[in-house]
Structure 1
Amino acid sequence: MRDRPETPDALMLFAAGFGTRMGALTADRPKPMIEVAGRPLIDHALDLVAPMDLSRVVVNTHYKPAPLHDHLSQRDVMISHEDDILETGGGLRKALPLLGEGPVFTMNSDAVFRGPNPLALLRAAWRPGEMDALLLCVPLERAIGHTGEGDFLLGQDGQLSRGKGEVYAGIQILDPTGLNEIDQPAFSLNLLWNRMQPEGRLFGISYPGQWCDVGRPEGIALAEEMLEFPDV
């Protein structure tokens, strides 16, 4: 029997949502196809994936999938299409047969980074014997376009607890084993994190660069300014 991998060699890129906060911009296309600095959001995400040399990359789709399917047809990615919205947890569970065994990267497609590759930082910090999830977080002062008060408090040992601290930046390494213990078809990965945290298995690292949330129309200009004028 083949040993279960301990380091992630596959990535799930979430691209199935309705993008309702984008208003008219998503009337005829899914949010990952909205352009920032002349390129679709999903291409900014895939730029980070390319140097990681992963064996499998899966993109989930649902809302107005045709433009996204066409755009990805020449890319070395697999599509996990959802007839119904399954949210992050249900979508990841549906894609597991494509992703294979072991821990996986998961990544949102509605943010832009300026700085070191966040996927490489996570892989370097991943300790499978201690962690069930390792989340990339970003301090509020470097979270451009974010209007909340933060999601997690980052302890000195790297363990995460809920609180008004750093913002979850939408990228993590996750052991998906616990997904099969959740009996609802559509659910957020927050449910899994909530089970890991009291067991001391939920960890995070702080991103040293800049991160821009492009979940709303105003985020487009902010991301373009960040990319053109870093550290401003």
Structure 2
Amino acid sequence: MKLALITDLHANREALEEVLAHARGHGAQQFALLGDFVGYGADPGWVLDQARALVEQGAFAVMGNHDAATVRGAQPTMRPTARLAVEWTRTQLAPAQLSFLAALPLTREHGTCLFVHANAHAPAEWEYVLSRAEAVQSLQATPARHVFCGHMHLPMLYHLSGTGKAGDFAPVPGVPIPVLPHRQWLAIPGACGQPRDGNPAAAYAMFDDEAMTLTFHRVPYDHDAAAKKILAAGLPPEFGQRLHDGR
């Protein structure tokens, strides 16, 4: 089965439309949505409706930190722009859409895979996988052979051998990588809705559990249109500028 891994959608309709079309065009048979459906972008309702439709068709989905904040409301410790985005998003969502977010689990398992937004060792604390050390901590916390998470917005792949030897590398888009089960793997597909590696193209990855390969992809989309919607909605201009810069 070819499984498309999409994370950090961030209410970006234009990016998600292109990623879904690209994934289906490359044979995706199922989807895993790794959280942060909302936040930053101007189309939270549309993105959630797409996510709900995919889940009804069997997709896996987990909660992200922006989703959790939207469910519970802005917290005093948040930055002013983050609080504004949370409260604006809450005004855009119907009760059924908020209920969908609230019901999302922190983790999902399927076969050799664990799906989680931030990390496997403390999913509810939203700690980032910043380096090999955090990746190893996550991999040692689960028997899953393939851990897929988001949160970092940067495409990355880590691995851990049975003897405890760890490695990492930045993937090249479009190049299949063998991810054989004699090692554990932690993959961060990169952000669909708000890339931050200097490349504004939307990111996602495709896991083929028969060939045991993982392919990272970048998909151009109309980030100018998405940025203009952010400004029109009255959201902080920096959210739109990030789409242009990919940072």
Name the TM-score class by shorter chain. 0.3 to 0.5
Higher strand fraction (1 or 2): 1
TM-score (norm 1): 0.33
